């Protein structure tokens, strides 16, 4: 996916997208970040026109008559791989549309009624690194992800669905302690510290005791516009 072009779109001033990576264990695995893109002032029609203008390199697929106002797929047309029995290709970007009120933000799709977050978990948005860019994301990622994947971050669970093939996986899900996988798989650890009298969170991508990469982020949701 041409993320440079995608990043130009998201700089316009509410859409949350979930980039689909190869199936992995639960959210603690570092390559599955749900990202909030600030399309607050970008109307649906101009967005659709901007994305369809990228044909024939990229295509925009609307998911059925019922869900098309809520769920789009942006996918390559000239590269990637075919998804069996589907008109789109892998890898793709899901574009999901959200609404909000004074207390909550929620997914407008009828298929995901449980995707509902307190505004205090999401705002103010924090800039986070992603594929060489910095993108706005929930200020409290742990609590935001807990809505989707549960509160116990110590447990890793095998997937029940393959987005690569768009099918439910036939085998029983397996749950193990994430610590049992840490020597062979990368995980993100988080610690709070003070830098120049400012409290921050340091996130480190690690395999076992070896640090692959670290980033320093704003610590919490206490400052900034909501």
Looking at the domain assignment, is residue 208 inside a domain?
no
- pLDDT digits 0-9 by tens, 81-111: 999 999 999 999 888 888 999 999 999 888 8
Structural domain including 128 reads 3-181
Looking at the domain assignment, is residue 192 inside a domain?
no
Ranking 63-72, 158-167, 202-211 by mean pLDDT, the lowest is 63-72
Looking at the domain assignment, is residue 206 inside a domain?
no
Looking at the domain assignment, is residue 223 inside a domain?
no
Assign residue 182 a region (left: φ > 0; alpha: ψ between -120 and 50; beta: otherwise). Answer: alpha
Per mean pLDDT, which of 8-12, 42-46, 77-81 is the most reliable? 77-81
pTM: predicted TM-score of the whole model, two decimal places: 0.71
Q: What is the mean pLDDT of residues 137-153?
A: 87
- pLDDT at position 38 is 34
Q: At residue 183, does pLDDT exceed 50?
A: yes
Q: At residue 6, does pLDDT exceed 90?
A: no
Looking at the domain assignment, is residue 176 inside a domain?
yes
Looking at the domain assignment, is residue 202 inside a domain?
no
Looking at the domain assignment, is residue 187 inside a domain?
no
Looking at the domain assignment, is residue 193 inside a domain?
no
Phi, psi of 117 (to 5 degrees): -125, 140
Q: Domain total for the chain?
A: 1
- pLDDT at position 18 is 38
Mean pLDDT, all residues of the chain: 78
- pLDDT digits 0-9 by tens, 26-42: 333 333 333 333 333 33
């Amino acid at each position: 996916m041409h993320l440079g072009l995608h990043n130009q779109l998201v700089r316009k001033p509410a859409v949350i997208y979930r980039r689909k990576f190869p199936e992995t264990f639960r959210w603690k695995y570092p390559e599955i970040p749900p990202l909030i893109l600030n399309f607050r002032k970008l109307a649906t029609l101009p967005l659709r026109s901007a994305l369809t203008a990228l044909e024939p390199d990229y295509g925009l697929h609307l998911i059925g008559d019922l869900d098309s106002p809520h769920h789009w797929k942006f996918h390559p047309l000239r590269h990637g791989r075919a998804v069996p029995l589907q008109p789109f290709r892998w890898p793709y970007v899901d574009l999901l549309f959200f609404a909000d009120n004074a207390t909550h933000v929620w997914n407008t799709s009828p298929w995901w009624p449980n995707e509902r977050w307190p505004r205090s978990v999401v705002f103010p948005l924090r800039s986070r690194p992603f594929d060489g860019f910095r993108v706005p994301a929930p200020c409290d990622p742990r609590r935001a992800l807990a809505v989707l994947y549960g509160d116990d971050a110590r447990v890793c669970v095998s997937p029940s669905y393959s987005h690569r093939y768009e099918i439910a996986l036939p085998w029983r899900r397996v749950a193990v302690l994430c610590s049992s996988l840490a020597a062979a798989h990368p995980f993100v650890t988080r610690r709070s510290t003070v830098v120049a009298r400012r409290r921050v969170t340091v996130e480190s991508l690690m395999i076992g005791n070896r640090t692959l990469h670290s980033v320093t982020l704003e610590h919490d949701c206490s400052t900034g516009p909501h």
